[in-house]
Structure 1
């Protein structure tokens, strides 16, 4: 609002309210994705870890691909204009900084969820689809045999729906 005064402009009450909301929005950070306290179905692994492994991929010790990269979190970077347009509409149509930030967080989460569902990711490996025995070379005491329950689908990231359903957001105030 200071800039309006510098130019000798007198703002309407609506203009002051809009600028005040923008000032408040400046102090809100919207974190989108997975939080460390969100656990996978096994109750031991965080969804943030699983999301990381799937987004960036993982390698076997010999350097070959274990989990191919499926960069679903890049949905926001792939569609910045869509998110920017939504953000402008939210700022124009909603009354408080928190409701605007929440709307933006919900939209961003939805974009990631859509990417998980709709993108053409590298298919699941046969062992992932069919199940069976394999060696986990990263066992706590060295390589160990593990049994994999087959998912029955070549479509990655959607076996139980947890990854897609649990993508969310949180608002952090005053923490840029």
Structure 2
């Protein structure tokens, strides 16, 4: 799970107390929330995000899984976009034109799409020849598409 939240530094000095003075949710979590995501998808996500040693440590078809940081890549590559979205929304929130929960929900949808896009586009490191033979595809991170479809967001206090 990755968290994007309302903080003073994110929205800038004009709205320095935004994160402290607003009531309501302050963050959106993006990924595979416990209780909402299937444990198989959580395991696949963890194995691919951080890699495994294989064998008894789990992962993939029993062999080592290389690190494929699709969540970290998505969050890092889009950090500026999220910051800009929060800045743009700050004035609307303060003037009552929108609510914090609405803004964070839109941000969650945006980040969810970015993580799913990263799963789709990531090609390196490639699957091993054994994995390609078993899976019938050379596309890393995607077998049935179930893990990609399980990416979601949750607005929290």
Shared fold (TM-score greater than 0.5)? yes
Matching residue within 49, 66, 82 for 2:43: 49
Task: Please give the secondary structure, in 2, of the residue aligned with 1:30.
Answer: strand
1:88 aligns with 2:87: yes
Q: CA deviation at 1:92?
A: 4.6
1:169 aligns with 2:153: yes
RMSD, aligned CA: 2.8
1:104 aligns with 2:107: yes
1:24 match: 23
Aligned pair count reads 130
For CA contacts below 8 A with separation 6 or more, give which structure has more relative contact order.
2
Name the structure where strand makes up a greater proportion of residues: 1
TM-score normalised to structure 1 length:
0.63
> Where does the alignment leave 5 or more consecutive residues of structure 1 unmatched?
1-14, 40-44, 132-150
TM-score normalised to structure 2 length:
0.70
2:34 match: 36
List per-residue Cα deviations over 1:55-104 (Å, max 9, x = no partner). 0000136xxx7001000011112331122112323445561111011011
Q: CA deviation at 1:20?
A: 9.5
Q: Of the two, which has the highest radius of gyration? A: 1
1:122 aligns with 2:125: yes
Name the structure where helix makes up a greater proportion of residues: 2
Q: CA deviation at 1:24?
A: 2.8
Instruction: Return the alpha-carbon distance in structure 2 between the equivalents of residues 168 and 32 of structure 1.
Output: 6
List 4+ stretches of structure 1 deviating above 6 A: none
> Where does the alignment leave 5 or more consecutive residues of structure 2 unmatched?
1-14, 56-62
